[in-house]
């Protein structure tokens, strides 16, 4: 299967090698700058490069379009790609708000034979697939509460220049970048929906330099959310992108009959008052040496293998995937979190 990628950041750096390692063909790369895109495509050996993303939609050799752009562009690009008859993989967060996510979902529902997926690649990691099944089987009893932390230095460098990530109007900020993954993964693991959310968002680095001088940062670089799920579990999710240390992503699910913890890529089962047991399943696909970065690049590799299997006839291969339906639900949680923060941090209903 052949893929076009719109985006010269994560799309070029991670998706190109991951999808190729999974046996997919990347036939086109689109970016906002023609010369830069041509240079990157040349370095990667991608045969077609363009500064006009619509050009890839006209190519008959493109079966799937991966949209890896700022969130303010997702609705236009996704609906245009679907209208052009392409399968779509859209980066998170789904859109700027739930209204845009609904428009994307409506476009997808008009074309049910085309894939319309959100790139929540962690769902494809074998450890998390096993964790979901164990929870469904009652391995730790009823889940009472969850802690989920993402601690990163990705925005800690004060010399890092201002770009769209600093602009809330374009969908920048930690909540969209990381919170969307955290909310979606808990929805996936628990097979449950968030009923209400209370949130605190903060911007520690209030200004960054742009080409025309200092600009204010309007997006968050830290947040803490409390989630109430419909069937009872509570969850606390936290993210800081401005720490001076990097810690492994960590999810701990506390149940009435035990605990599950996913940390540093490993899945641990902790019986009542017992010691952690490493129950990480064997990973079938080796991660290429040029694909570094931990959980998300590895998840992209496994997503690539699932796409290849799906188009080879295994319709169950994409069962873990986040669809545009999932994208809308997660976007509604993000919207409610922002409303909670604006109104002092109290619980807000979702949806």
pLDDT in tens, 257-269: 999 999 999 999 9
Residue reference for tokens 């506390």: 254
Read off the pLDDT band of 152 (50, 70, 90). very high
What one-character DSSP code corresponds to residue 164?
G
How far does the chain reach from its first CA to its final CA, in angstroms?
A: 36
DSSP 59-72: -TT--EEEE-S-GG
pLDDT given at position 298: 95
pLDDT at 220: 98
Q: How far is CA 281 from CA 86, 130, 193, 267, in A?
A: 34, 8, 27, 8
Provide, rounded to the nearest whole percent, the portion of the chain with pLDDT above 70. 100
Q: What does the pLDDT look like over 161-199, one tens digit per residue?
A: 999 999 999 999 999 999 999 999 999 999 999 999 999
What φ, ψ does residue 273 adopt, rounded to 5°? 60, 25
Whole-structure pTM over 0.95, yes or no? yes
Q: How far apart are CA 11 and CA 109, in angstroms?
A: 26
Distances 29 to 2, 7, 248, 307, 308 between C-alpha atoms, Å:
12, 7, 31, 19, 19
Mean per-residue pLDDT for 94-113? 98
* CA dist., res. 322 & res. 344, Å (int): 31
Average pLDDT score over the chain: 97
Residue 1 has pLDDT above 80, yes or no: yes
Among candidates 95, 58, 61, which has minimal Cα distance to 78?
95
Average pLDDT over residues 151-155: 96
pLDDT, residue 95, reads: 98
């Amino acid at each position: 299967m052949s893929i076009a990628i719109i985006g010269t950041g994560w799309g070029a750096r991670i998706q190109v090698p991951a999808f190729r390692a999974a046996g997919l063909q990347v036939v086109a790369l689109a970016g906002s700058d023609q010369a830069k895109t041509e240079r990157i495509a040349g370095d990667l050996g991608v045969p077609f490069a363009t500064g006009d993303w619509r050009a890839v939609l006209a190519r008959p050799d493109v079966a799937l379009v991966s949209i890896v752009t700022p969130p303010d562009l997702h609705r236009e690009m996704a609906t245009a790609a679907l209208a052009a008859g392409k399968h779509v993989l859209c980066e998170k967060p789904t859109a700027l708000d739930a209204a845009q996510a609904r428009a994307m979902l409506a476009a997808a529902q008009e074309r049910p034979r085309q894939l319309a997926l959100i790139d929540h690649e962690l769902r494809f990691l074998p450890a998390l697939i096993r964790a979901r099944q164990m929870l469904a089987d009652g391995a730790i009893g009823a889940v009472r509460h969850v802690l989920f932390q993402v601690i990163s230095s990705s925005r800690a460098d004060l010399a890092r220049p201002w770009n769209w990530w600093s602009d809330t109007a374009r969908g920048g900020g930690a909540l969209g970048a990381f919170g969307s993954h955290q909310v979606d993964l808990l929805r996936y693991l628990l097979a449950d929906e968030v009923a209400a959310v209370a949130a605190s968002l903060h911007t520690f680095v209030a200004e960054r330099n742009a080409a025309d001088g200092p600009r204010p940062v309007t997006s968050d670089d830290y947040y803490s959310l409390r989630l109430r799920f419909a069937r009872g579990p509570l969850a606390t999710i936290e993210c800081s992108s401005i720490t001076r240390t990097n810690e492994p992503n960590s999810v701990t699910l506390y149940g009435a009959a035990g605990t599950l913890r996913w940390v540093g890529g490993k899945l641990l089962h902790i019986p009542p008052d017992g010691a952690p047991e490493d129950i990480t399943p064997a990973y079938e696909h080796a991660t290429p040496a040029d694909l570094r970065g931990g959980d998300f690049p590895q998840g992209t590799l496994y997503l690539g293998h699932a796409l290849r299997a799906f188009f080879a006839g295994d319709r169950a291969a994409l069962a873990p995937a986040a669809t545009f339906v999932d994208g809308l639900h997660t976007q509604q949680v993000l919207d409610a979190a922002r409303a909670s923060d604006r109104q002092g941090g109290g619980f807000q209903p979702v949806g």
